[in-house]
Amino acid sequence: MKPPHAPDWLVYLAVAAGLAVLAVGVPWRQRPAEPSRASSPAGQVLAPASLFDPAIWVSAPPAGPGAGTAFSVADSGVWLTARHVVDGCASTVIVTSPGHGVAAKVRLWPGRETAILYTRGGAPALPIAPAEWLRRGQRAFHHGFPGSRPGEATSELTRRARLVVGGRGLRTEPVLSFVETGRMPAMRGALAGLSGAPVLDASGRVLGVTIAEAPRRRRLYTTTPSSLRAILALASVKPVVGPGEAMTAASYGAVADDLRSRLSVAEVECLGS
């Protein structure tokens, strides 16, 4: 006599439940800061920007006191940051040490999500990445001042998108979408204050400017290399070329500290509207 066996539907249900457990895995907050899926140089090349790229809708924050990140693109005192960090500010300051800073003149262009800042005297400029193919999964690093404190994040490039900014006039700009894969120190929640931070490749060269975040999806959005070079051309700034400070998932925190110590990456404050 054969032993009784479970109905087919019950077997299928058990298999499906097991697959669901494997799919859920560990909540992302409890994963190691650096996941095992390392970036692959053989990742798929990103296609050029297109009108078919997905649209990311964000609202421009109201003008008023706040802080973000800026970085040097010319030793003479030229900096880049995100437009919304300084748009509408009565006065803008590059912080040089706690309680001290230098006044910055702001220049904006219609339709651009990057702002240029000018100061008397500057800091060592970061090199700009050459025009080359971008690949899915390539590692990137965002150094700045989240929450007005030194901090940084690492990410991997996923796709192109179009950022649509509402609020003080509707604007749209092609962007790169990165998925956050780690941060230092161990911060939770949104990375407010990282706006304007450079996004660097593994050779320490700037790919773009960090301009938006989707905290729940762990996404960071940055301007593109072509947008970066276009804004430098509008400002008549000749890009610094060559390698920067190379970094890995294990060393990017130390590199970030070094860049902040020499003010190549600095905090920028809006002191009123």
In tens digits, what is the pLDDT along the chain, a chain of 273 residues?
Answer: 444 444 443 333 343 333 333 232 222 222 233 333 444 444 888 888 888 888 888 776 666 668 999 999 999 999 999 999 999 899 999 999 999 999 999 999 988 999 999 999 999 999 999 877 899 999 999 999 999 999 999 999 999 999 888 766 678 889 999 999 999 987 788 888 999 999 999 999 999 999 999 888 899 999 999 999 999 999 999 999 999 999 999 999 999 999 999 999 999 999 977
Give the pLDDT confidence of 66-77 residue by residue, as tens digits: 899 999 999 999
User: DSSP labels for the chain?
Assistant: -PPP---HHHHHHHHHHHHHHHHH-S-GGGS-SS-S----TTSPBPPPP-TTSPEEEEEPPPSSSEEEEEEEEETTTEEEEEHHHHTT-S-EEEEEETTEEEEEEEE--TT-SEEEEE-SS--PPPPBPPS---BTT-EEEEEE-GGGS-EEEEEEEEEEEEEEEESSS-EEEEEEEEEEEEEES---S--TT-TTPEEE-TTS-EEEEEEEEEGGGTEEEEE-HHHHHHHHHHTT-PPP-S------TTTHHHHHHHHHHTTSEEEEEE---
Give the pLDDT confidence of 235-251 residue by residue, as tens digits: 999 999 999 999 999 99
